[in-house]
Amino acid sequence: MTIRYDGKVAIVTGAGQGLGRSHAIELAKRGAKVVINDLGGSKDGTGGSSEAAQSVVAEIEAMGGEAIANGANVANYDEVEAMVKQTMDKWGRVDILVNNAGILRDKSFAKGSLEDFKLVLDVHLMGTVNCTKACWDIMREQAYGRIVVTTSSSGLYGNFGQSNYGSAKMAVIGLMNTLAQEGAKYDIKINALAPTAGTRMTEGLIPEKAFDLLTPETVTPAVLFLVSEDAPTRTILGAGAGSFAVAKIVETAGMWLKPEDQTPEGIAANWDSISSPEGEKVLNAGFEQTVRMLALASEGLGIKLD
């Protein structure tokens, strides 16, 4: 069955080019009305122009789709609120939010400034928080919402020179984990995309042949799946060059140590068992960790907990 978005309203941030542009165009092709948000700045977040967003609107209109341009800086809550108001005035609802806007300020941790660190957090983390917050009550009232946050392998696994960016990209996973729980009752699903694509962000970092394979269009199906009616929730979906994979945070089965071994030396002596991947599991909520720890302890102590 073809997945479509007829009657749905989507906001895609940073949609003037690169991945966001591709997501927005495909959503529009499949029936969504789309807000093309873009500040139009350079890769490091300086400058700004409304041209990029407007040209994507023109592309969508030329295909017979519906779109409007918006130049809000996602890091500025007042501008984000105005963007959501513009959307509500025009179309009366927000079904889909794709948090995609982003910048880079790469430097080793030793050389990087705290100003750059805060700016990157502001755009990626607070930009995602601002847009999500401005849509949250609308989605709750509609009892429908599909939200994507854009993470990165840099956040999930680390990347030299990207401590600021990696921190921000992992932070949005934390946001997702809690909002998936808080939104469940209102049919709000929230997922994370971990893309790898040839865009101006990665130009010069990837060999040309690989760059040509890593088109934004090969990533977009992942986003479209994650914002569809039957989407999963709280999933991290990696995508690039037409390949797709799910990333998971797991906890090992772990073990309880006897009181006399509850020391750093005891942990060192049992490290192989504590860190063994055998029996590792994805936990669905923070409290599950406490339950598991207590279960191991009560078993070890031979006591029953209610």
Active site residue 165: yes
User: What span, in angstroms and rounded, lies between the C-alpha atoms of 263 and 261?
Assistant: 5
208 vs 272, beta carbon nearer ligand NAI: 208
Find how far residue 125's CA is from the centre of its chain.
9
User: What span, in angstroms and rounded, lies between the C-alpha atoms of 218 and 46?
Assistant: 28
25 vs 257, beta carbon nearer ligand NAI: 25
User: What span, in angstroms and rounded, lies between the C-alpha atoms of 165 and 107?
Assistant: 10
Residues interacting with ligand NAI, by CB under 6 A? 13-14, 16-20, 37-41, 43, 45, 52, 73-75, 100-103, 123, 127, 150, 152, 195-197, 199-202
How near is the Cβ of 167 to ligand NAI at its closest, in Å? Answer: 13
User: What span, in angstroms and rounded, lies between the C-alpha atoms of 271 and 254?
Assistant: 10
17 vs 54, beta carbon nearer ligand NAI: 17
- Reduce the DSSP state of residue 9 to 3 states and report it: strand
Pairing of β 236-240 and β 188-195? parallel
Neighbours of 221 (CB within 10 A): 16
Contact 74, 103 (CB under 8 A): no
How near is the Cβ of 205 to ligand NAI at its closest, in Å? Answer: 9
Catalogue the active-site residues: 165
